[in-house]
Amino acid sequence: MVTEQLRPHGVTDQRVLEAMASVPREEFLAPRMRRHAYEDRALAIECGQTISQPLVVALMIQAAAPDPGDVALEVGTGSGYAAAVLSRMCRRVVSVEREPALAEHASDTLRRLGFDGVEVAVGDGSLGWPAAAPYDLILVAAAARGVPPALIDQLADGGRMVIPVAVSVEEPQDLRVYERRGGEVTYRSLFPVLFVPLRTG
């Protein structure tokens, strides 16, 4: 995966490559899906959700540029895979999942594999998780029609947020990196993506 998918397609941060290599992706999949674990594509998990393509996970984390002392928020826990990778590079990860069954399964998997730096919470990801804010980085694993104001509010000064934005129904989603500097928030586009929609409520 690292040699054939990540390095040739723009993943240059050695820490990201090492983190991706250290997390067993098959452990986050149902037994019948494990033989597909290292294929270069998103895979179906429970509750109509997906585990993202490894390259997309790696590029999102690289764009967020985590530091060892950072506190990160992930919106959309899903299987827990991306949170596990991110936890290799941050001090603490809070991951919010709206589907209780997914949150419970991800939490069990993370605990079983020894990823103690990840806390999984059940809630509306568009509202973030104010209890642990502010966050040095936020990764959103679902496409928003617009950037949720609560997530901007919970981003620390100097913080980075990587989020797919659904610009219109006719166009691919735009993966963006937002950065907060004082009262100013700017963004740059990365590349087109296809994520499940961010559901609110």
Question: Which residues have a catalytic role annotated?
Answer: 52
What are φ and ψ of residue 73, in 5° steps?
A: -115, 130
C-alpha to C-alpha distance for 136 and 132, rounded to whole angstroms: 11
C-alpha to C-alpha distance for 149 and 172, rounded to whole angstroms: 22
C-alpha to C-alpha distance for 184 and 192, rounded to whole angstroms: 25
Are 98 and 123 in contact by the 8 Å Cβ rule? The answer is yes
Question: For the packed helices 14-22 and 54-64, what is the interaxial angle rounded to 10 degrees?
Answer: 140
Are 137 and 66 in contact by the 8 Å Cβ rule? The answer is yes
